[in-house]
Structure 1
Amino acid sequence: MNDFSCSVQLWDGEYQVKPENLKELPYSNEQQKEIKELSDLISKIKLDDIEQPTRDFLAGLGKINRPWLTELEKSILEFLEKNFLS
């Protein structure tokens, strides 16, 4: 937290936002930990090496209103992890 903004780490970089533009999500501590681990993994993928549809997929993962991935989402992310980790 800064005086008038917060640093927020997202899958594609760090952003400065006003605190009033943030909202708390109703996730348990365990769910928050899982989301953090997922975010850390996604942020390690080299964006320079992937095409726009793949970037769109990663952006879509960040907009999901649930703290878990489906089996298909996990499989796709595991493929990206194996082939594009920085």
Structure 2
Amino acid sequence: MGATNYGTHPIGEVCQILAKDNPELRGKGGCWAIASAVNDFSCTVKMWDGEYAVGLQHMKSFNYLPAECEQMRVICDRISRVYSDSLEETVKNLLQSLGKVNRAYLTAVEEKLLNVLESEYGREITP
């Protein structure tokens, strides 16, 4: 059948993770990720809880506009600053659900929830 061309994902593009039968992606199916480095057959992506190498066949572009990709990058950075393995299970679940939103923005309630988590757990950052 020959090689399948999955296309390339430019750096900064927002993609959905398709876990399929990949055990390394267990629990990540449906999550959005931002391409941070592109290789021949995989991408390094940044997700809500860290960076992962993901095969191109496990990525599907959301086809967001550049401004929407930038919004998602900001949301990703905010979640990443709050996330750590030592968080309570409920907090981790909330962050994971924010990591699965299939739109380029947070609702007003999601924004308030993330603000609370940032003030409670966020590490101080300087702009």
RMSD: 1.4
Match for 2:92: what amino acid?
A: R
Residue number in structure 1 paired with 2:119: 82
Higher relative CO (Cα under 8 Å, sequence separation at least 6) belongs to: 1
> Aligned to 2:51, what secondary structure does the other structure show?
strand
Partner of 1:56: 93
**CA distance 1:48–1:22, change in 2 (3 Å):** closer
> What is the CA-CA distance between 1:24 and the residue it aligns to?
1.0
Q: Does 1:21 align with 2:58?
A: yes
Kindly provide the amino acid, as one letter, of the partner of residue 62 in structure 2.
L
Structure with greater Cα Rg = 2
**Could you tell me which residue of structure 2 aligns to residue 68 of structure 1?**
105
Q: How many equivalent residue pairs?
A: 86
> What SS does the corresponding residue of 1:14 show, helix, strand or coil?
strand
Q: Report the CA distance between 1:48 and its aligned residue.
A: 4.0
CA spacing shift, 1:44–1:12, aligned 2, 3 Å: same
**Larger helix fraction of residues:** 1
Unpaired runs of 5+ in structure 1?
A: none
Q: Percent identity?
A: 36
What's the TM-score once normalised by structure 2's chain length? Answer: 0.62
User: Structure 1 residue 49: deviation in Å?
Assistant: 4.6
What is the TM-score normalised by the length of structure 1? Answer: 0.89
Q: Is the Cα contact below 8 Å between 2:83 and 2:92 reproduced in 1? A: no
More strand by share: 2
Report how far residue 2 of structure 1 moved. Answer: 2.6
- 2:82 — aligned with what? 45
The answer for the alignment partner of 1:6 in structure 2 is: 43
